Chain A
Amino acid sequence: MTIQSCVACGGHLNALQREGIVRKRARSLSSSAATYPVVYRLLQKLQVCAGCLEALPFIGEQICRQCGRDMCGEVICRDGLCRDCVDRASVPLSNNRSLLQYDEKGKSLVSLFKYRGDERLASFFSALLTIAIYRYHHTPPRFTCITTVPLHPTRLRERGFNQVELLAKALGHAIGVPVKTLLERTKATEKLSKQGGRVHREESMRDAFAWAQGAVLADLSSACSGGVARVKVKGGANSPVMSGTPLRVLLIDDIYTTGSTLRSCASTLRAHLGTVCEIYSLTIYR
């Protein structure tokens, strides 16, 4: 069953009222004329009413080149970086992009999805992610594979589902890129909402991830067959095999707060795949 009313306010979905706003949003979100139809269709199917669609806090045009933060009203340091990114010497992540600012409404939606466990919201969030792909990345997206920030097995059992994996699968299906489980969590960290402080979080995330046993990238699997136990290939047939281009991995998460989780994942990936790979990350909220 899909939700037939606005996910944010429970209101009625009035196609007529939405039309104008959908067009306006689609224009501002599509990077080129070629992506307009796709973005338009995605927005049109988004289960939010006209008012809530208009109120969605999309991140503006000016962003931090590295972390995707909205730079409106922020100090821009050198090279178009924000003040957090400018201090970091080397980052394993090529860049991060997010679609929305994390406000109160977003918070309640995410908690409805993650903690209450309303899995029907997955389609809403994955549509947002797809819009973000079309907004920030080349079309058609040239990723070798999509992977997710893993949950610790205990947490997964407790929660019953991996929210990010649901999103990644839907996204992978939408843009035709296979989703793989490449990482696993080795440390059971505190719930994000219960951790305090940026430094503490960075510390707790260090070495929290490891390369998943038996996980193999699709392109390499033809060369070194076997050990495909944990690989979940979805739509693997149309994944582009690029000989000249480096591996491009897309990391998916729901929220980018300080980025320590994503950076930790990226450095694990980089340690395993070598320095030629490019790792991008995409989140809904920033």
Chain B
Amino acid sequence: MREFLLYIKSGTEAVSSVQTYVTPSFAVDQSFWQERESCILHVIGKTSSLALAFSLREQINEYIRKRLAERQKLTDGVVAELRQLAVGKVREASGLYGREVTDRERDDNQASWSSAFACMRQPPKDWFAWKVVEFRCEVHACQKDAESAGGYRIFSRHSLLRRTSLTADGASASVLGKLLDGRALLWEEIETLLCKRGAEVGDLAAVLHEGVLAGKVQWLPGVRMGVVSNWRRKRLVLFCERCGSEGRALQLIYCHSCEQGCAYCTICLGMGRSKCCTPYMLIASSASTAVGRETGMGQPARLEWTGRYSQDQARAAERARRFVAGSHPGRSEFLIWAVCGAGKTELLFPSVAEALSSGGRVLIATPRKDVVLELAPRIQRVFPEARVIAVHGASAEKWEESDITIATTHQVMRYHRRFLLVVLDEADAFPYHNNPVLYRALARAVHDTGKLLYLSATPPLYLQKRLVSNDRSKSASSAALPLASATHVLLPGRYHGKPLPVPEILTIKGLHKRVRTKRAVPQMTDAVKRSLDAERQVFVFVPRIDDVDVVLAYLQKAMPDRSEQMAGVHASDPLREEKVLAFRNRRYTLMVTTTILERGVTIPKSDVLVVGAEAPVFDEASLVQIAGRVGRSFDDTAGSVLFLQAERAAATKLAVRQISRMNQLAKKLAEAGGDNA
């Protein structure tokens, strides 16, 4: 069992230096302070719940700040008082925890879908265990005097206070620093990483804690605990330090690891359990230069790309590159707003090269695993001398060192101030959209001097507000969108220079009922027939999973001769990947799908039909993305997009407006470009 000791350090002369610390190995602290200054260390007590220790530290520091202004000196009396305070606070936290448990059980019993057995735990009398340790030692700088030596003897009984190998630590600390550079990991994950990379560290807790004292490592409990009080009552608040979730998202449990009340986070559970008793270590990247790269390994920034940019693309790519190269302190975020099919990935190359050449690491985060797997070889081809790794849940390369990391969203949580450039692909997509957890993780992965680059075809409003209209065009009412500012660049045209297909909206009364009862909807059937007769493939988007089969059955009945070539797919379809692949291979010519295919899938010569476009799942961004499936390849730049709705809706109109606005902008830009040339 890991235990954590709480102690107060007071300087021998200056009162202001009174500070409380939490340590997993007291001997490390003793020798650390010995090397630096003379001080007195008053031990308060110990517990195995890190969250409790941190919360007590907070409260004691607060108390000291308030009280010591009057008293001016940390006497033994005050320390005894503080020990009493700690005991009281633990009891209080225990009570609040117990109340929270019963509150939740009561609520669960009321909830309709709750289990019949919510009251599963017997609350023990005390949820938290706290052991008061009365010990005081004086540490004198640079000399071991009798008392502190005595301190060692007294504490050698406690395993957590013993120091194993003093000499070996220096070497392992540097190895550890290299391996953990720029990562944010739970204790268990550090052990896994060291095991995977074959590093042996004698006393991990001691080495890491030295880093903490030296300020290189930040450590936190996986789940933070605190007490807030308002006028009516005090309440226990829990907060996951890793993903930032709080409240009921954290499950209260009796934990056998720390043998007391604990809590774990259910939101980031897939990444390992973040608990009250698990230390969460944040190790900021020591320098912007890539650590662990030996000289003579070539230039990772060398770009081998034979493709060519269109005029617009070149402009946007240059803007982005300048942003990455720039050293404006305040400007750390940049948005590339490029319509669907503008060639976003290629735009990144100069920026990535720029970041690599200044010696930093690059992260490309994307929402989905298949995109990660597709992107990694592509990037590797373009940057042949860089180390590129693909990181996702099941990836074996997770713990490797690299220049360019391509990761799924959740894996980003494992990095801490590591990357000089972080690119977020599809910033508006699930799971990023409106997800503070992932935005928080992303912001944390960026190095102090690093940059964050958003890539989106339909940036959400909060990104637009923050990054688009901040410069000259303060007047948001004006219809004109600025093409570029210090924090964004807009690419309104496709790489092939042809306009985006503008959707057609049709309102059909009783659409859903007619489809369900298989009564003919000629507009729909005709459109599908026309496309299929022209040897084109058709995406049919529906709002709900249940609609997939309904619409598929309707179309199969309407066109029995083609029913073999039709299929339906949704997120939890076990054959999902096979079906999408078959659609790509033209084995199927018509695919009925939910919004899962709204992005990422590119099929040449295809048309789009949305049945039930008024449904709330189809918002403006989603519809623009869906319309963007069409006409992406060089040999087929046009195509038809049809939105069928049962009643009039705002989103369809807005989507059409956005698409036409982009087309206008592109046209204007092309004319201006033509004039210049």
B-binding residues in A (CB < 8 A): 1-4, 9-11, 13, 41-42, 45, 47, 116-120, 122-124, 126-127, 130, 156-162, 166, 169-171, 173-174, 232, 234
Contact = CB atoms under 8 A, between A and B. Distances in A.
Which of A9, A119, A169 neighbours the largest number of chain B CB atoms within 10 Å of its CB? A119
A127 B115 CA distance: 8
Given A160-B256, A160-B257, 15 more contacts: A2-B113, A2-B114, A4-B113, A9-B572, A41-B116, A45-B115, A117-B269, A123-B115, A126-B117, A127-B117, A159-B256, A161-B253, A161-B255, A170-B120, A174-B117
Contacts of A9: 572
Interface in B251-266: 251, 253-257, 262, 264, 266
A2 B120 contact: no
Interface of B: 1, 104, 108, 111, 113-122, 248-249, 251, 253-257, 262, 264, 266, 269-270, 273, 275, 545, 572
A13 B111 CA distance: 13
Nearest to A1: B248
Contacts of A234: 122
Contact of A169 (B121, B257, B270, B275): B121
B115 A119 contact: no
Contacts of A123: 114-118, 120
B257 A157 contact: yes
A157 B266 contact: no
A174 B122 CA distance: 14
Contacts of A10: 572
A82 B262 CA distance: 45
Contact of A122 (B120, B275, B572): B120
Contacts of A122: 120
B581 to A, nearest CB: 21
Contacts of A174: 116-117
Nearest to A42: B116
26 contacts: A1-B104, A1-B249, A2-B113, A4-B113, A10-B572, A42-B116, A45-B115, A45-B116, A47-B115, A118-B269, A119-B253, A123-B115, A123-B116, A123-B117, A123-B120, A126-B115, A127-B115, A127-B116, A156-B256, A159-B256, A160-B255, A160-B257, A166-B120, A170-B120, A173-B120, A232-B122
A157 B256 contact: yes
A45 B113 contact: yes
B116 A161 contact: no
B277 to A, nearest CB: 8
B389 to A, nearest CB: 24
Nearest to A233: B122
Contacts of A130: 116
A11 B594 CA distance: 14
A173 B119 CA distance: 8
Contacts of B572: 9-11
A232 to B, nearest CB: 8
Contacts of B104: 1
Contacts of A124: 115
Which of B117, B119, B248, B254 neighbours the largest number of chain A CB atoms within 10 Å of its CB? B117
A182 B364 CA distance: 54
A160 B116 contact: no
- 10 closest A-B pairs by beta carbon, nearest first, are A123-B115, A170-B117, A160-B257, A1-B248, A2-B114, A117-B273, A156-B256, A160-B255, A170-B120, A9-B572
Contacts of A161: 253-256
A127 B572 CA distance: 25
Contacts of B122: 232, 234
Nearest to B247: A1
Nearest to B249: A1
Contacts of A162: 256
Contacts of B248: 1
A42 B114 CA distance: 11
Contact of A120 (B111, B119, B251): B251
A279 to B, nearest CB: 24
A197 to B, nearest CB: 26
Contacts of A42: 116
A3 B117 CA distance: 13
A169 B120 contact: yes
A41 B117 CA distance: 12
B492 to A, nearest CB: 38
A116 B270 contact: yes
Contacts of A166: 120
A28 to B, nearest CB: 21
Contacts of A160: 253, 255-257, 262, 273, 275
A75 B114 CA distance: 41
A13 B262 CA distance: 30
Contacts of A158: 257
B113 A47 contact: yes
Nearest to B115: A123
Nearest to A124: B115
A4 B264 CA distance: 18
B113 A157 contact: no
A47 B256 CA distance: 27
Nearest to A46: B115
Nearest to B116: A45
A157 B572 CA distance: 36
Contacts of B254: 161
B101 to A, nearest CB: 12
Given A1-B249, A117-B269, A45 B264 contact: no
A94 B209 CA distance: 54
B266 A120 contact: yes
Contacts of A120: 251, 266
Nearest to B545: A11
Given A160-B255, A161-B255, A118 B118 contact: no
Contact of B251 (A1, A4, A11, A156): A1
B366 to A, nearest CB: 21
B569 to A, nearest CB: 15
Contacts of B262: 160
A2 B248 CA distance: 9
B115 A2 contact: yes
B261 to A, nearest CB: 12
Nearest to B572: A9
Contacts of A169: 120-121
Given A117-B273, A119-B251, A160-B275, A2 B266 contact: no
A173 B118 CA distance: 10
Contacts of A47: 113, 115
A2 B251 CA distance: 9
Which of A120, A171, A232 neighbours the largest number of chain B CB atoms within 10 Å of its CB? A120
